[in-house]
Amino acid sequence: MVGYTLAYNTLDNVKAPTSGLYAEIKQDIAFESLQDLPGVNYENYFVRTQGEVRNYYEVFPDVVGVLKVQGGNISAWGGDTLRMLDHFQMGPNLVRGFAPNGIGPRDLTAYTTNDALGGTMYWGATAEAQTPLYFLPREVGIKLAVFADAGSMWGYQGPTSNPATGEKAWVGLDDPSMVRSSIGAGLLWDSPLGPLRFDLAYPLTKYCASTWHGDVCDRTQIFRFSGGTKF
């Protein structure tokens, strides 16, 4: 695999920005062929493109607003089928309030664990406000954030049958018009170990599919802990 990243940065402070724009686009191209090995007939060629834009601005003194949009697409060359593991897997990295791999297409086949399959396209948008906690010294480096997230993922293009039995899987929760959304609040701590974040998020909209053995829905997760990132 080969890839590149193009970035544009006008942030006033990389560590704790209060104004400016950060934008990046990255692309990976995969070349893999195992057809020459005995008993193996496998090819994996795809192009994966992702983009993200973040804009910071001071709404009021000590209150920083952040707007973020992101999106991605992955396509196989020549109409080949993608491996399931090459698909995007989304959850709180797209819409907080959802579990890892909690959003998007799932295997809805009866008597299975309804595993997440991933998707080939996604988009997300976030609006957030951050402010220091006034009753704590600024040197502590703790901020309060409130946010609203929205996004979607769809377009599974991987295998849909068991190679051993030929049984077809039922793929569901794959509707590009269904927007997942959430609201929440979090604490950001610029700790000595690096940036840490604690979020509580409540899903406002999620997708459920009705099957003869019951409803299968996106999987939620109210609390999230993350490190190494400001946003």
Q: Three-state SS string across 15-83, please?
A: CCCCCEEEEEEEEEEEEEECCCCCCCCCEEEEEEEEEEEEEEEEEECCEEEEEEEEEEEEEEHHHCCCC
Please give the pLDDT value at position 22. 97
User: For the whole model, what pTM was predicted?
Assistant: 0.88
Please give the pLDDT value at position 40. 47
Q: For 49-106, how does the pLDDT look when each residue is reduced to its tens digit (9 = 90+)?
A: 999 999 999 999 999 999 999 999 999 876 567 888 899 999 999 999 999 999 999 9
From 3.40.640.10, 1.10.3080.10, 2.40.30.170, 2.40.160.50, which CATH number describes the 51-70+89-227 domain?
2.40.160.50
Mean pLDDT on 214-231: 84
